[in-house]
Chain A
Amino acid sequence: MRIHQYERVWLLASMVLIVGFIATITYGAVGLGITMVDDRGATIAPDEINEDERFGDPRVEQVGDDEYEVYAVAMTFAFQPDPIEIPADSEVTFYVTSRDVIHSFYVVGTNTNTMVIPGEISVVTVEFDEPGEYGLICTEYCGAAHHEMEGQLAVLEDEEFDLTELEVEAPDEVEPDGEIEITATVTNGQLEAIEETVTVELGDETLEESVTVEGDESESVTLTVDAADLGEGDHDWTASAGDLTESGTVSVVEGSEDDTEGGDDA
């Protein structure tokens, strides 16, 4: 085949260019370790999401020193959990699946970006070194309100980040001759033990206790007050642990026959 001299040179230069492109990308994948979204995630049918151990309760979980996993669900037209809070400078692996149609999971302005396909679990491991609030959006058309599908990713300084939860059990109504029990439970979702001062207040009564909660464990503190001491009426309570606060109201009332003997205890 007769090819003009100049065209031979051009052909050669083109091949060098192409091989060069492939080489840089290969270097990025192998040398720099930029991994792709691939088939390492398992499959999950959308109607099994609610029963699934991970996606039934979308959340952030610590799995190692500076290693976290996020189980997130995309659906028309929201992300769960929302907001997602993760610490800076840690390795965070997102597991994302969809309840309905094809969505995407894109942290705006970053390369944290994956398609989310019903039936599949997308796995993306990233490290955010800049604390801040990032927008999380779906970039795949998913229906009439696609443009409203928005979440938030908060990347917190290491010291500001925790996975501590406070849960309070308190009655709504108590008989004047009864006892009011308020139980504050601190759950530590991280692996290292934490020290927390738990405070429970009701009327004039205050209970303050320091607790040590081991990793992945919870500790409870209970304040017991005689309803008679408070008298009839509404009484506010608050419970706090660190910067978490819960509050509510308990009423001391003379209950009707139905209330005392009825369905509540049955």
Chain B
Amino acid sequence: MPNGATFADAYPTQARHIRAAFWASFLSLGVGAFFGLIQALHRTDILRVIESQTYYTVLTAHGVFLVISFTIFFLVGVFQWAVTDSLERPPVDMRFTWGWYGLMSLGASLTAFAILAGFTDSIDVRANVLFTFYAPLQAHPLFYVGLVVFVVGTWLAGADWFRSWLAWKGDNPGERIPLPTFMVLTTMIMWYISSIGVAVAILAFILPWSLELTGSLNPTLTRTLFWYFGHPVVYFWLLPAYLLWYILLPKLAGGRLFSDPLARVVFILFVLLSTPVGIHHQYLDPGISEGFKFIAMTNTMFLLLPSLLTAFTIIASMEHGARQRGGEGYFNWLTALPWRDPAFTGMALAGMVFAFGGFTGIVNAGMNINYLVHNTLWVPGHIHTQVGTAAALTFMAGAYWLVPQLTGNRLVGRGLALVQVVLWFVGIVFMTNSMYRGGLVGIPRRTAEPQYEGFEYEVAAGSVGELNAQLAIGGTILFVSAMLFLALMVLTAFNGGTEPIDDGSIPPALSGPEDSPAVLDNLKLWVAIAAVLVVIAYSFPLASIVSRGGLFGPDIGPIPVAIDAASTVARTALEAVSAVVR
């Protein structure tokens, strides 16, 4: 890219495509954040604008819009930027690039329709099965079809990036893969390996069953296949944030990336270890032996390694940047960092929250201590510090730098943007503090009304009222922050006739790829090792689950979520029976 030119100048067509991906992402963020606000006020019983049974439609939408649509549309945007910018070439065929974007949009729209139709009785479509869609809860087939189309779109996106890389390799034989492209390719390898699980779950079992082609299924099997995908998908949300931390943050801090070789090692570790860990989401599941859970636990603990390495590299890069800016002393260099830059500050705060959240994740991963927190509010506490901040806040902060490069416009409201990222941080501290503590006293997650008749939660310090207040305040601040972000993005898009402050160039790493062995770039090798690890971790559990419950299950009928009437009847009948028994 010529010096001084923005990405939008150098690649106008690609910039338009990436902007389209970002708008899809931001739209999802806006809708998802609004649903989040409704939930925060509803479950704390501060303001209930919906019926409690509608809460689960809201919750499904909140999950799917934010962790599927917002994160992954942003991911494809960032990855397209990273590949194009670092290979210095556009995609081989732009029609293909628009094609996968179209597929993703179509899939997201179908799934969104299936979920949102749950708000009206005039359309007989329901999908309030939550983001995890555990069978035998059954959604409308459109929900599953949309997810499949969306995922196929992401597969083609990956194919597009591999194609760009192969074309580049032909022109640059023997050269090391540029780091941003390396990160994109390894992340996509992880995605291919892991999304097979959800594809098989839907295409072989859940979709035919929802279309009444098959009579039943094995709930443990579909659940296990979901989590085969369900853990790596969190890295799919996180790795674009890692990419921004490695590629952009050192530059924003005023320096250069500390180590290119270790960045590659980190991404390879994610390829190897992300998938054979999913059973740690099933520590409390019957039908899976303790040995398989133990293997998942050890793999999970080793997955700490790439994150700990990242913590080192990021902080070292920031310190290097600060010293370039004249920072001195053991800790005083911190004051020399560009804290007035919203892109920098947002990412730095996101990194801090991520480090804290990582330790709460160790609690989840601890096979036995997990019993205390499983399915309590602790878990969404963890999710909101990780995907809800480490990823989301990094994306927003990254957008403050990226969107000007992609539009050629100067960011509107740099000061307000700084307020926005700080607001997000404050909101998440309030909300997750409440969630973590609430989880420890046993308040459940995923419920419209965590208030029960038969018992009270025993809060050691503080009270349930105080926890609720923090959750509601935090959630409200987060919503305000999200809206502020979207407003600034819209204003920036229309801020024509201006120029970005930054020139968009990325400086090379202090320790470059020449300091690492070429084997790191041997992607085939890492795919092979990852496949072996997956086979070791999953073949026996899956065989055992199928032999216990059958491939298509022990004749378990579907439970469509549109059971409002049926469930009321069932409940009334149950109450009548218990009254008679008494």
Contacts and interface: CB of A to CB of B under 8 A. Distances in A.
B223 A102 contact: yes
Interface residues of A, number: 74
A140 B451 CA distance: 15
Contacts of A11: 309
Given A1-B515, A119-B553, A21 B316 contact: no
Contacts of A41: 286-287
A123 interface: yes
Interface stretch (A32-40, A215-223, A254-262): A32-40
A132 B302 CA distance: 41
A142 interface: yes
Most buried by B among A3, A43, A115, A148: A115
B574 A123 contact: no
A120 interface: yes
Nearest to B564: A144
Interface stretch (A12-20, A197-205, A243-251): A12-20
A144 B137 contact: no
A121 interface: yes
Interface stretch (B149-157, B442-450, B524-532): B442-450
A109 B458 contact: yes
Interface string A217-234: 000000000000000000
A114 B371 CA distance: 8
Interface string B547-575: 01100011110010101100100110010
Nearest to A105: B284
B498 interface: no
Contacts of B449: 147-148
Contact of A152 (B302, B304, B371, B454): B454
Nearest to A142: B137
Given A108-B457, A135-B452, A140-B375, A113 B136 contact: no
A207 interface: no
A39 B287 contact: yes
A22 B376 CA distance: 23
A20 B283 CA distance: 20
Contact of B301 (A3, A18, A44): A18
B140 interface: no
B134 interface: yes
Contacts of B375: 104, 106, 113, 139-140
B574 A43 contact: no
B283 A37 contact: yes
A252 to B, nearest CB: 26
A108 B441 CA distance: 8
B335 interface: no
Contact of B309 (A6, A14, A134): A14
A47 B369 CA distance: 34
A222 B32 CA distance: 68
B517 interface: yes
Contact of B220 (A14, A117, A152): A117
B283 A36 contact: yes
A4 B312 CA distance: 11
A109 B441 contact: yes
A36 B561 contact: no
Contact of A114 (B59, B284, B367, B453): B284
Contact of B304 (A18, A46, A114, A150): A18
B323 interface: no
B53 to A, nearest CB: 4
B553 A145 contact: no
Interface in A142-161: 142-148, 150-152
Contact of B134 (A7, A18, A102): A102
Given A10-B312, A45-B554, A76-B567, A144 B284 contact: no
A34 to B, nearest CB: 4
Contacts of A110: 442
A77 B309 contact: no
B219 A29 contact: no
A137 B377 CA distance: 14
Nearest to A35: B290
A147 B283 CA distance: 23
Grouping DSSP codes into helix (H, G, I), strand (E, B) and loop, the A interface class, with mixed when no group exceeds half, is: mixed
Contacts of B288: 38-39
B303 to A, nearest CB: 9
Nearest to B54: A144
B53 A144 contact: yes
A189 interface: no
A241 B298 CA distance: 56
Contact of A29 (B367, B372, B555, B578): B367
B220 A119 contact: yes
Interface string A42-57: 0111110000000000
Contact of A39 (B128, B286, B444, B555): B286
Contacts of A34: 368
B445 A45 contact: no
A141 B284 contact: no
A115 B281 CA distance: 11
B289 A38 contact: yes
A115 B515 contact: no
B452 A140 contact: no
A158 to B, nearest CB: 22
B444 A145 contact: no
Contacts of A104: 284, 375
Given A14-B305, A150-B454, A1 B517 contact: yes
Nearest to A36: B290
B305 A15 contact: yes
Given A109-B457, A120-B220, A141 B446 contact: yes
B259 interface: yes
Contacts of A1: 261, 515-517
A77 B554 CA distance: 22
B53 A29 contact: no
B424 to A, nearest CB: 27
B219 A25 contact: no
A36 B134 contact: no
B382 interface: no
Nearest to A27: B368
Instruction: Tell which of B447, B457, B515 has the most Cβ of chain A within 10 Å.
Output: B447
Nearest to B52: A147
Given A111-B372, A117-B220, A146 B556 contact: no
Contacts of A147: 52, 55, 447-450
B176 to A, nearest CB: 13
A139 B554 contact: no
B308 interface: yes
B455 interface: yes
Q: List the 8 closest A-B pairs by CB distance, nearest first.
A: A135-B455, A139-B375, A45-B554, A144-B53, A111-B371, A108-B442, A122-B286, A2-B515
Interface of B: 52-53, 55-56, 59, 128, 130, 134, 136-137, 218-220, 223, 258-259, 261-262, 282-290, 293-294, 297-298, 301-302, 304-305, 308-309, 312-313, 316, 362, 366-369, 371-372, 374-376, 441-442, 444-450, 452-455, 457-458, 511, 515-517, 544, 548-549, 553-556, 559, 561, 563-564, 567, 570-571, 574, 578
Given A18-B304, A29-B367, 10 more contacts: A1-B515, A22-B301, A77-B571, A108-B452, A116-B286, A117-B220, A119-B287, A143-B563, A146-B56, A146-B447
